[in-house]
A = this chain, B = another copy of it.
Amino acid sequence: MLTYDLSDRGRQPLYACLYRHIREDILNGKLRAGEKLPSKRALAQHLKISVITVENAYAQLHAEGYIRTVQKSGCFVCQVERQPQPAAQAPATAPPKRRVYFMDFTSNSICAENFPFSTWAKLMRKTLLEQNTRLLQAAPYNGVACLRKAIADDLYHTRGMPVSPEQLIIGAGTEYLYNLIIQLLGREHVFAVEDPGYGKISKIYQINNVGYRRVPIDRQGLDLQKLEQSGADVVHISPSHHYPTGIVTPIGRRQQILHWANQSDSRYIIEDDYDSEFRFTGRPIPTMQSIDKHEKVLYINTFSKSISPAIRISYLVLPEGLSERFRRTMSFYACTVPVFEQYTLAAFIAEGYFERHINRMKNLYRTRRDSVIHAILQSPLKDRVQITEENAGLHFLLTVDTARSDREIIDAADRAGIRLSCLADYAGQSDEQFSHRFVINYSGIDCSRLDEAVRRLSEVFI
């Protein structure tokens, strides 16, 4: 008869302890396939435990397929593969270490300490109180209605975009939305990306195995002739502020790109407006979405730059027809943003905090940009550099007159604790016009270290 020590079972229930012992004997072969187990009553008497305990243990073994019950005959061991039990300790894999730099000019992190955190926390508490258990109900596929309304109102107010909340899709980050766009438009399309351009976009097309082409930009943005030649039919651009060159596409070129799109039913424009809030002079440029008359523009924007990369809320504005197609074919996807964050952000926008925050940050980033430029122009670098496209966004280009190669400079900077990237890194092909141009992201830097950082850079460049 099966005999087990059930006394030293810790906090686990008696039946679970018995179940474990029998399972172990099945797995290690002490109990062989086809063997009959003692009757519940007999085992209970033998082990001095209740019949219900044995019953529970057998039921568990049965549910897991270790034993089978034959009516009026009893329980029999099933054929199972023998194997060692899982180790008690999980394997420890060390996470890869991240290098810490004295200054990182490649990071597109934002200046988090200036976020009105107490306001945000206040709105979170208010949301908790007001929405209460509504926070546990799933959001509609396209996002909570009040957030879509708040964003639509803001777009109309600050960007002159007449958008209905029904055209909006809220999603957990632009990268997620890029994925949805591929599925919405269809994988048969060929996507054009800007060259040079923001690397993640082409990575996403690549890992999704959809066709994409790098199309060169000129001083006004995407080169239309090259776009035509590329054979692409969906173009992914950031006309308000190209990354990393900072180029702003003028109205004439915008209209030409719209013309290009209007020439075929399969053509679309993805307008990526990722940091348009941070234009320093004048009003923001009208979006292509707002001058599109033929349902060609999918507008995409994010709160990662304007609020925090930690909240992961982005949105897509679809033309009416595509919005209806999304509802029909893709609304089975649940909205990826937690309801709680959606309500909080809706209040943050609707109550005017967002606009005030943007204005404050614009000033802050402008000051920060000026400090970086000032530090460079006060340094020995001043006669060797040229600074371009600094009127918008959170980065500028630094063109350096130097004999060293870009790679040598980046490596030397790295050794000096300064992380740099160069324009050529963002380009698909090497081209003389891209060399000796470095991308200076300044949104997340520590200004108190600027002078020292520029001093180190001077030594690297010269």
Contact = CB atoms under 8 A, between A and B. Distances in A.
A113 interface: yes
B200 A83 contact: no
Which of A16, A209, A310, A330 has the most chain B CB atoms closer than 10 A to its own CB?
Answer: A310
Contacts of A42: none
13 contacts: A60-B283, A63-B391, A64-B286, A80-B255, A92-B164, A93-B323, A95-B145, A115-B136, A136-B310, A173-B334, A175-B334, A176-B336, A207-B330
A337 interface: yes
A65 B152 contact: no
A252 B163 contact: no
How many copies make up the complex?
A: 2
Contact of A93 (B59, B91, B133, B166): B166
Contact of A91 (B164, B252, B282): B164
A10 to B, nearest CB: 12
A90 B78 CA distance: 67
B208 A308 contact: no
A176 B172 contact: yes
Which of A78, A132, A334 has the most chain B CB atoms closer than 10 A to its own CB?
Answer: A334
Contacts of A293: 83
A15 B163 CA distance: 26
B88 A251 contact: no
A250 B65 contact: yes
Nearest to A121: B128
Interface in A238-280: 248-255, 259
A248 B63 contact: yes
Contact of A253 (B16, B65, B248): B65
A225 interface: no
Contacts of A166: 93, 95
A15 B283 CA distance: 10
Interface string A13-57: 001100100000000000000000000000000000000000010
A312 interface: yes
Interface stretch (A226-234, A338-346, A402-410, A426-434): A338-346
A89 B137 CA distance: 31
Contacts of A338: 310-313, 337-338, 341
Interface stretch (A154-162, A375-383, A411-419): A154-162
A358 interface: no
